[in-house]
Every structure is written in structure tokens, then in C-alpha cells.
Amino acid sequence: MTRRTSPRRLRIAAWSLAGFTGLVLVAALVLLGLDTSRIAAGRVAFYGFSALAVVLYAGAGRLIASRVPRNAIGWLLALIGLSLAAGMLTEQYALHGLAVAPGSLPAARLAGWLSGVMTILTFAPMVFLVFLFPAGRLPSRRWRPVLWAMFVVLAGWAAQQFQAGTIETGGNTNALQAAGVSYPNPLGIFPRQGWFSGLLAGLFLLGLAVGVLVVASVFVRRRGASSELRKQLAWLGYVGLLIVVPVAAFIPYGVLTHGNVNSTLGVLFWTAVVITMATLVLNRLTADPHGSRSATLTGRSASREVIRGCRMCWSIVMT
């Protein structure tokens, strides 16, 4: 009896999570409309794209979690959508309560701190996404220590948000700093220097090692894999290149401009990432979750897949 009802409950949970994400996004956009007087046009455009990204991630997560509820990929995508929407909401809440209408909202400083936490919850699941792709499980039991190490690094990253002496500047867009608002961490309990600083340095090195092992896991999956799985992993590799190459290009550009990276370039970069990831996940997991098709990835087939993915993205937005 439990086996029959459990998938149904999971599908209800997937729909509920998507609906809650939509409500959070609407609230964030309402505050954005009230805060435009203190936000540059480039950041408003970035928020508009972020809203689209929320819809795509939450929609793709809902589709996958509904069709393949035991696959962790769908839930990770849904979590990315929710955390991105929550980051937008908390950042705009703090901006409104501290800069647009000072003192009008309670706990505005705490909301600004939460926007930084939401940034962690937006990007951390992407590493788990790569590690568990495409079946939503580990390559083998031998990789469990890597998974545990990932949780340790994530816990350390979260603990860093409780470090005293740090300055809160906002979430993904640093909107507070741009509006001339910054303040010390309201929940700083760990020391700025000393043992905690050394612990963070050790966790940083552990994070680098985990990153290398996560990339290695992709190649481990590829050995002896079916042609369909190889195609899925090839798409994953393209997504990785799409992320690494622009980031590597942005580093010297950011240095030359003293951190003032053009917002339009960021919007174009993340648009490409989201469309490619949506293409990858939707085509490979929702259209054919069991990998029954067999094909090789060519330039021509890649173009067809991207076009199909764009259509799927459009259908998600319209529904």
C-alpha cells in the first residue's frame, strides 16, 4: 500500500514546491517594483532574467520530480529555483527596509543576511547536480566519502555566514552595497581570525579536492556506459565548458574594471547556462527518463536538441 501512495505523495510535494516557489517569486517582483528607485537598470534587467531562471529551474524540477520522483535531479533543480527566488525576495526586502523606506520593515538586516545564505543554497546544489547526474544516485558505493565531504564543505560554507566582522552587502547582485547600505554581520558568532579562519582555509582545500573528484566522477560514469549515457554526459561537459570559459574570461575583465562587470554580459552568460541546462535535463530525463534511446552527439543533433530545449523552456514559461 505504501509503495502505491508514496509516488503520488511525492508528485503532490513536487507541485506544492513549485507553487510555493511561484509565490516567493511574485513577492520578490512586487518588492522589486517598489525598489526600482534605488536599483540601476542593469540590476533590474538581471532580476528580470533571474525571474525567468526561477521559472525554468522550478518548472524543470517539477516535471522531473513528477515523472521520476525517485530521481534526486528533479528535487535539486526545484531547490535551485526556490533558493534563487528566496534570495531575490530577501535582498529586495532588505533593500526596501534599509534604503528605500528605512525602518518601514522589521528584521531588514536579518533579511539581508539571509540573502547571502540563499546564494549558497543556489549554487551548492549545482555541484550535487553534476555528481549525481543523470540517474540521481552515486556512481558506486565507493563514492560515498566524496558525498560526505561535499556536505562537510557545504556546512563550512554555511558556517562562514556566522563569522563576526564580515560586512553584509546583499545577495546575488550586491544591491545593498550599490545603494550605499552595508553593515556588520548581525549573527556573527565565530571569530574573524584564529582557529575559525584556519578551519575555513582547510575546508577551502577540501572543497578544491571535492571539485576535482566530482569532475572525475563524470569520467568514471562514462567508462563502459551506453551510448545514450555517453550522450548525456557529453551534454553535461558542454554545460561545464559553458560555465568555465566565461568565468575564466570574466576574471581578468573584473580585475581591469575593479569588479564592475557589465550586467549585460552576466545576463547573456546565465541565459546560455540556463537554456543549455534546461535542454540537457528536460530532453534526457523527462522525454526519456530511462535512457532507452541510443544516439551519438553530433553538431547537427546538438542544434536540434538546443532548439527543442528552447521550445520546452518556452512551454514551461507559458504554463
d(CA 19, CA 309): 23
pLDDT at residue 303, rounded to an integer: 46
As to burial, measured by CB atoms within 10 angstroms (0-12 exposed, 13-18 middle, 19+ buried), residue 95 is buried
Own/partner contacts of 188-191, CB < 8 Å, gap of 24 or more, are 188/162, 188/163, 188/164, 189/162, 189/164, 190/159, 190/162, 190/163, 190/164, 191/163, 191/164
Phi, psi (rounded to 5 degrees) for 183: -160, 155
The total of other beta-carbon atoms located within 10 Å of residue 76's CB is 25
pLDDT at residue 47, rounded to an integer: 86
pTM for the structure as a whole = 0.78
Domain that holds residue 224: 2-318
d(CA 124, CA 116): 13
d(CA 302, CA 312): 15
Number of domains in the chain: 1
d(CA 312, CA 289): 16
**3-class DSSP state for residue 39?**
coil
Which residue shows C-alpha cell 528533479?
Answer: 74
* Strand partners of residue 183: 168
Average pLDDT along the chain, 319 residues, taken 10 residues at a time: 62 89 94 88 82 86 84 88 92 91 90 89 85 82 92 90 84 80 86 86 90 84 73 67 58 53 52 56 49 40 49 51
pLDDT tens-digit readout, 217-258:
888 877 766 776 777 677 666 666 655 565 555 556 555 554
pLDDT at residue 133, rounded to an integer: 79
